[in-house]
Amino acid sequence: MTNGWIDIKNTDMMLIMGGNPAENHPCGFKWAVEAKLKRNAKMIVVDPRFTRTASQADQFLQIRAGADIAFLGGLINYAIENNRVAKEYLVNYTNAAFIIKEGFKLPEDGLFSGFDAATKSYNKSSWNYQEGGNETGKAVATPPMGVAGDIPGGAAPGSIGSVKQSQPQGSAPAGEHGSVTGHGAEGQGYQAQGPAGAKAMGGGPIPPPSLPPNIAYDLSLQHPRCVYQLLRQQYSRYTPEMVSRITGIPQDQLLKAYDLFTSVRINGDMKKVATIIYAVGWTQHSFGTQIIRTAAMVQLLMGNVGRAGGGVNALRGHSNIQGATDMAGIFDILPGYLKVPSPTDQDLKTYLDRITPTPAKPNEWQSFNYWSNTPKFMVSFLKAMYGNAATKDNDFAFNYLPKVDRNYSWVNIWNDMYEGTVKGFFAFGMNGVMIGPDSQKNIDALKKADFLVVCEIYPDETSAFWQAPGITPDDMKQINTTVYRLPGAGFAEKDGTFVNSARWLQWKHVALPPPGDCRLDQDILAQIFLKIRELYQKEGGKFPDPILKASWAYTLPEHPSLSEIAKEINGKALADISDEKSGVSLKAGQQLPGFAMLRDDGTTSSGNWLYCGSWTEAGAMMQRRGTEDPSGLGIYPNWGWSWPANRRVLYNRASCDLAGKPWDPTRSQVWWNETAQKWVGNDIPDFKPDSKPEEHMGPFIMNPEGVGRIFVPLGAMADGPFPEFYEPIESPIDNPLHPNQSSNPVVKKFKTAMDKYGTVKEGYNIICTTYRLTEHYHYWTKNNPMNVELVPEPFVEIPAELADQMGIRGGEKVKVTSARSDYIAKAMVTKRIKPMMVDGKKLYQIGMPIHWGFLGISESEGRTSKMPANRLTPTIIDPNAYTPEFKGFLVKLEKV
């Protein structure tokens, strides 16, 4: 979340889409309710089903699963055409005014410029800004169609231009970097059903093209190749008619919703704020990242990012998913969203040069470019990893880190195992067989593995994969996988932190000790590690150093305490250091107060720069329980600790106008204090604290441009600098925008015999989606009688009209078949899903919760078909975040 849970109460307008917070985040949803009660905020819910969230909405729209980009593109189009955009914000805080290189082409035919059909990938060099300077007013013989008249020039560029021009000019290639709206965690979706993906991997043997240091711009927004005009042109194709054809939402409802959402910005008035709330309903598509980007663009266009009650807010699917991502639960990042080294990074310098961005902006503007501190973060990280073994002479042991040569994302791992290259598998804190996609493929993959280690608190389907339905005792004899089951500890049986969606680190205490022979997960991991290290010591090996020299300085090496680890992650000074600017000085061994103190000379260590400040000399900030909220904005600065630097709302500089005054004085987060000559506020300013408004430093300090990216240049996205609507891989219709390029062109399909994809021609004519229920937590609570009492059995939700047609009554068993496999459960015939008209065709959607497998209370009572729902889902992944397309695939439905 750019904002936080409590901050939702400050909003005036909510668009909840691709998420079902009332069901999956009921505790957080209280703030949405609070906004309705206290601010008369409106709520628009867009979902394939009428969910419990929809029951709270002022307006509900039933959308075809996967048509989200079309809906949001239409919203952009509506906002532009009806002058409901934040003009000053747009011009000054986003790259709307930046001019794009000639040669860039919009995807009228479904493809951006640079597509290589052979590799199914883009050459992104044309997706770049034009070098130059101020082009304002110098436009163009033929003024482009547009609303140029509506857009004032923003800050007078001339005056700004005269302030300062001292940025270093493109000394090094900027490389591929940056994220959609800033911090890596936020621009992307995270999917709850599997480990998440991250940004596209950069790298490759050829140095990639870089951003120009001095970007050409047109503050009148009239240049035909300025981002704003391209945006306008791109989404002018998303007319209400077209959007209605694609999404299945009737035009009148669509326009009503657009009007309602954009009503916060009538005539550009900046007082009100709208938020967009989403979850894995957006991420789990073959274009999931792009849906979220579209939302980010809507919010930038309307000036809602960085403001209390605004933002783009990803609701994380687990209590600690944010923490898992921050701490590199993904193959292509290191803790703190540092990129993993690639084989071309032969030394630390090459690597740092590749990943450290340099400012790229109009010369007259400033950019903080916070990622320029990457070397400090990286060296401190290496010191935390390897301690004294990391010295300046050995590049701080940079070469101990693995160099990642290809895609090791979730679905790829299983594919590799299926193809026999992955031979062993450690499953901690997840149930891989159930997660899917294509559970049967995962089961078959495990049959080929040599060993499987599962650490769980219940016997789970992954550790019992050899007992899956359909496997006979004879078949079992053919399975040679050795399975080790390790009894882990439940969340209440260990201390440590959860990092919630709002980026808060909150410490929890042990409620009760693990029962029986169960052990704490960190103890299990530590003991495995120490055993492996012992083996390396004894037997040597190809490259034992990364194991032998890893820092393991815990009081009890076999039982590392989580508070020790938390302190290690925060980091400490390794020598006496002092910071001139802030006047802080530290003795060797003292905890660091924040990431501003990090050094790239090996005098500091920090396991994750983002968490630096969470456990300081003042104590465990993550354990704070202060309930003061002087501003009334729900900031609670003394409760827990929020990364980065205890900021509660990211990019909060954007909550003020150019002069540093809040857009809405009743929701003052930060502001420029003229007397003190610095940024102050109720929240911690997410900005260079002493940067005067006249310097025109962009609020989006994590981007080298300093501004929010409506157009994403270069390689940050694999499939286009603007989102384009593509059909899901399994779609009932051809893309009405460009039938010849129906689905995402850069999506690659897996090629094994298990990877099958269905079409309408083969009879797969019903759209199916999967989801979770309030009453259950993934594949755990099927073992808990209370949860089982609440919802005892799996079901398939079927529209009443379809059920009538097929003669299905509620409670009867139905079989859902996809190209992969089938699934049997009872029918829930409901009026909450209606048939819809999509591209002139009447279509039906069905859906099913995922919570049942072949082990559990109802399962052992024989009340289920013992089939994981993810038997049905396709092995298709988003090219940016590698999230599987769990939402919106094709099935057949029949009565059993």
Partner 1 sequence: MSDRGTLRIQQISAHPGPVAGEGTQRQDKVCKLIDTTTCIGCKACEVACVEWNDMPFQTTYFDNTYQTMPDTDWNYWNLIKFNEDQHDDGSFAWLMRKHQCMHCEDPGCLRACPADGAIVQYSNGIVDFQQENCIGCQFCVSGCPFNIPKFNPNTKKVYKCTLCSDRVGAGLEPACIKACPTGCLHFGTKEDMKFMAENRATQLREVSGFQNAGVYDPDTIGGTHVIYVLHDATKPERYGNLPAKPRIPLSFTVWKDIFKPIGLFGAMLGFVGVVMHYVFEGPRREQPTPPVVRIDPPPPPAGKEN
Burial 781-816 (b: 16+ CB within 10 A, else e): bbbeeebbeebbebbbbbbbebbeeeebeeeeebbb
Is the Cβ–Cβ distance between 243 and 249 less than 8 Å?
A: yes
Provide CB contacts within 8 A for 753, sequence distance 6+.
none
| Among residues 1, 6, 17, 52, the one that binds partner 1 under rule CB under 8 A | 52
Q: 59 is written with which tokens?
A: 């307006």
Is the Cβ–Cβ distance between 56 and 237 less than 8 Å?
A: no
- Provide the CA 547 distance to its chain's centre, in angstroms: 31
487 C-beta neighbours (distance < 10 Å), count: 16
Subset of residues 513 to 542 that bind partner 1, contact rule: CB under 8 A: none
Q: Which is nearer to partner 1, 58 or 734 (CB)?
A: 58
Q: Which is nearer to partner 1, 54 or 877 (CB)?
A: 54
Furthest-apart CA atoms within the chain: distance in Å: 82
40 belongs to the binding site for partner 1 (CB under 8 A): yes
Is the Cβ–Cβ distance between 126 and 113 less than 8 Å?
A: yes
One-letter-per-residue 3-state SS of 325-366 = HHCCCCCCEEHHHEECCCCCCCCHHHHHHHHCCCCCECCCCE
| Among residues 259, 558, 789, 804, the one that binds partner 1 under rule CB under 8 A | 789
DSSP state string for 645-660: TT-SSTTGGGGB-TTS
Q: Which is nearer to partner 1, 373 or 774 (CB)?
A: 774
Q: Which is nearer to partner 1, 417 or 848 (CB)?
A: 848
Q: 409 is written with which tokens?
A: 């994302």
Q: Which is nearer to partner 1, 828 or 843 (CB)?
A: 828
Identity (one letter) of the amino acid at 444? D
| Among residues 785, 804, 805, 894, the one that binds partner 1 under rule CB under 8 A | 785
**Of 150-158, 373-381, 616-624, 782-790: span binding partner 1 (CB under 8 A):** 782-790
**Of 46-54, 63-71, 83-91, 664-672: span binding partner 1 (CB under 8 A):** 46-54
Q: What x/- string results for residues 58 through 77 when contact with partner 1 is judged by CB under 8 A?
A: x-------------------
Is the Cβ–Cβ distance between 414 and 442 less than 8 Å?
A: yes
Subset of residues 677 to 706 that bind partner 1, contact rule: CB under 8 A: none
| Among residues 453, 774, 835, 839, the one that binds partner 1 under rule CB under 8 A | 774
Q: 610 is written with which tokens?
A: 């983002």
Strand, helix or coil for residue 143:
coil
User: To the nearest whole angstrom, how small is the minimum distance from the Cβ of residue 75 to partner 1?
Assistant: 22
324 C-beta neighbours (distance < 10 Å), count: 17
**Of 20-28, 74-82, 208-216, 437-445: span binding partner 1 (CB under 8 A):** 20-28
629 belongs to the binding site for partner 1 (CB under 8 A): no
Closest among 178, 197, 573 to 380, alpha carbons compared: 573
Q: What x/- string results for residues 315 through 354 when contact with partner 1 is judged by CB under 8 A?
A: ----------------------------------------
Q: Which is nearer to partner 1, 378 or 788 (CB)?
A: 788
Q: What x/- string results for residues 829 through 868 when contact with partner 1 is judged by CB under 8 A?
A: xxxx------------------------------------
**Of 35-43, 226-234, 350-358, 753-761: span binding partner 1 (CB under 8 A):** 35-43
How many residues touch partner 1 (CB under 8 A)?
38
Name the one residue in this structure whose structure tokens are 């628009």.
44
Q: 196 is written with which tokens?
A: 């998440």
Subset of residues 792 to 821 that bind partner 1, contact rule: CB under 8 A: 792-793, 795, 810-811
Sign of the Cα torsion 362, 364, 366, 372 reads positive
**Of 48-56, 484-492, 614-622, 706-714: span binding partner 1 (CB under 8 A):** 48-56
Q: Which is nearer to partner 1, 32 or 243 (CB)?
A: 32
| Among residues 3, 10, 11, 56, the one that binds partner 1 under rule CB under 8 A | 56
| Among residues 145, 510, 553, 790, the one that binds partner 1 under rule CB under 8 A | 790
Burial 228-267 (b: 16+ CB within 10 A, else e): bbbbbbbbbbbbbebbbbbbbbeeeebbebbebbbebbee
| Among residues 670, 827, 855, 872, the one that binds partner 1 under rule CB under 8 A | 827
33 belongs to the binding site for partner 1 (CB under 8 A): yes
Subset of residues 220 to 279 that bind partner 1, contact rule: CB under 8 A: none
| Among residues 81, 775, 822, 839, the one that binds partner 1 under rule CB under 8 A | 775
* Positions that interact with partner 1 (CB under 8 A): 22-23, 26-27, 29-30, 33-34, 36-37, 40, 50, 52-56, 58, 774-775, 785-786, 788-793, 795, 810-811, 826-832
